[in-house]
Amino acid sequence: MTNASLFTVANKTNKTVESVTKEGPQTTWQTQNLDGSPDVCGKEWQSRYRALHQEIINNKREAKFLVYFCDLPFGACFGYGDRIRGLISLFYLAILTDRAFLIHWKVPKPLERFLTPKNINWTFPIPLLETRKHFWRNIYGQTKKDLDGWLVRNASAVSSLVKKENFSFYFDKPVEIVTSNVYFAASAMQWNKYLMQRARDMEISPLFPDSRRHAKIGCAFDFLFEIPPRLQNALQITRKKLRENSTFVIGIHIRLGDKQFGRNNTRVSESDFPKYFLCAEKVERKLFNLDGRKQARWFLATDSLLVKDYARKHFAEKVITDENKPVHIDLPNEDKKPISDEGMMGILHDHLMLAECDFLVVSPGSFSLTAVGVGMHSSKTHTFGEKCSFDSKKKMRSR
Ligand SMILES: Nc1nc2c(ncn2[C@@H]2O[C@H](COP(=O)(O)OP(=O)(O)O)[C@@H](O)[C@H]2O)c(=O)[nH]1
Ligand SMILES: [Mg+2]
């Protein structure tokens, strides 16, 4: 992805507009603060876990590891959003069982090329100690031979396990490796009396039942990941275009489905996606006090070129979108080539950019909902494009 040619900005306007953000009015277009807020994320467990992790990898404490694993010869760790939800669920499970969390995400590209370790060294090599391997997800096309050596549980069996098991005993090997796309941190884990007791004792507030549903994603993401300079630069270029003249930004994510990636699966139909743009217009009208001087910009992320073309044709004035063809992280391209670095950058760029928009119009699915989580959005700052319901009495103030 070359920075200069990445994005199409339709005609720039020089109107003076001030931005409205999730936290309230802002006077500049500076980066949204996505850092895990101490109010939502808690503030003590992070340093305690950092110390524990350090002690384990420095051999000063019993070797106990929990590894998120995506390096299977047959691929198929699912999409980016699915991976993030599985990974983050395992991260919390590692904290609650006093294990050092490692990420071994090598397919189709090593994650550490695109997101780097922040508070803990999750790239530490998997120790050559007694190991058990868990395959926690539904089987899609894997053969018996592929799964040799893996303890297989489908998604509903994982939920049952996570609801009732005492994992301090269940995980009894020095190295427990898991490949998973199950978002149990937001569901089954909440029912587990042992895990929830530990979460309370350790004051891991994003896991408390009354915490914001997707904040657990934002708090974990912020703890684990640093955005490296190459991706930061790409984000900054887009941000500048979006925030020019202190405008405010609506992020729109339209996920048509895997049809464009050669699979028979439709999420949002080609006749329904224009509703997302109508929804963004409604958000502007009802939530932001726009007048002739004020204008919003839209950041469009989508899996479809058709949607991008439509947006450029109908909303050239306000839409900014990546020019490249979106790729599915886990499905082969038409030419059967593995996904390129640019393709991966495009996925991360779209996801992180969506996260920092002031309001989100999203699709059902994990790509959208993890962006809601990473951006620490509440129910007041996102809606689903087709339903487009929100409380229009709660106007967002602009100055
Ligand atoms: N670049 C880009 N890729 C996307 C976008 N939406 C979906 N994709 C691709 O489609 C895949 C969708 O999988 P996933 O993130 O699991 O979302 P879900 O299947 O909708 O739950 C992602 O991994 C991306 O490769 C988007 O807005 N931009
Ligand atoms: Mg998926």
pTM: 0.90
- How many whole angstroms from 303 Cα to the centroid of ligand 1? 6
- How many whole angstroms from 255 Cα to the centroid of ligand 1? 7
Measured from the CA of 82, which atom of ligand 1 is nearest?
Answer: 16
The domain 229-384 having CATH identifier 3.40.50.11350: the answer here is yes
Residues with Cβ within 6 A of ligand 1?
78-82, 253, 255, 301-303, 326-329, 346-347, 350, 365-367
Candidate from 253, 347, 348, 368 with most ligand 1 atoms within 8 A of CB, to mutate: 347
Q: Which ligand is nearest to the CA of 256?
A: 1
Extract the tokens encoding 131.
């190991």
* Across 120-145, average pLDDT: 94
Q: What is the pLDDT of residues 145-168, one digit of tens each?
A: 889 999 999 999 999 999 999 999
Pairing of strands 296-302, 151-153: unpaired
* Across 83-87, average pLDDT: 98
Residue 396 has pLDDT above 70, yes or no: no
Given a contact cutoff of 8 angstroms between Cβ atoms, the answer to whether 224 and 119 are in contact is: yes
pLDDT at 392: 72
- How many whole angstroms from 367 Cα to the centroid of ligand 2? 7
Identify which of 156, 135, 154 has the alpha carbon closest to the alpha carbon of residue 74.
135
- How many whole angstroms from 6 Cα to the centroid of ligand 1? 18
Candidate from 303, 360, 372 with most ligand 1 atoms within 8 A of CB, to mutate: 303
Q: What is the pLDDT of residues 31-52, one digit of tens each?
A: 344 456 778 999 999 999 999 9
Give me the percent of the chain exceeding a pLDDT of 70: 86
Measured CA to CA in angstroms, residue 213 lies from 67, 187, 208 at distances of 24, 10, 10
Residue 191 has pLDDT above 80, yes or no: yes
* Across 161-179, average pLDDT: 98
Candidate from 255, 302, 345 with most ligand 1 atoms within 8 A of CB, to mutate: 255
Residue 212's pLDDT band, with cuts at 50, 70 and 90, is: confident
* Across 246-252, average pLDDT: 88
Q: Which ligand is nearest to the CA of 82?
A: 1
Measured from the CA of 302, which atom of ligand 1 is nearest?
Answer: 27
Query: Where is pLDDT greater, at 99 or 143?
Result: 99
Q: What is the pLDDT of residues 318-344, one digit of tens each?
A: 999 998 888 888 877 666 777 899 999
Which residue's CA is the closest to the ligand 1 atom numbered 6?
A: 303
pLDDT at 393: 65
Query: Where is pLDDT greater, at 6 or 353?
Result: 353
* Across 250-275, average pLDDT: 88
pLDDT at 6: 31
- How many whole angstroms from 168 Cα to the centroid of ligand 2? 30
Given a contact cutoff of 8 angstroms between Cβ atoms, the answer to whether 223 and 118 are in contact is: yes
Residue 141 has pLDDT above 90, yes or no: no
Which residue's CA is the closest to the ligand 1 atom numbered 1?
A: 347
Q: Which residues, 6+ apart, have CB-to-CB distance to 83 below 8 Å?
A: 70, 77, 105, 181, 329
Distance CA 98, CA 48 (A): 10
Average pLDDT across the chain, whole number: 87
Given a contact cutoff of 8 angstroms between Cβ atoms, the answer to whether 296 and 249 are in contact is: yes
- Region of poorest pLDDT, from 83-92, 178-187, 192-201, 207-216: 207-216
Candidate from 80, 114, 324, 331 with most ligand 1 atoms within 8 A of CB, to mutate: 80
- As annotated, the residues of the chain forming the CATH 3.40.50.11350 domain(s) are 229-384
Q: In 181-290, which ranges are E strands?
A: 225-226, 248-254
Residue 208's pLDDT band, with cuts at 50, 70 and 90, is: very high
pLDDT at 155: 96
Measured from the CA of 347, which atom of ligand 1 is nearest?
Answer: 1
- How many whole angstroms from 332 Cα to the centroid of ligand 1? 14
Residue 365 has pLDDT above 80, yes or no: yes
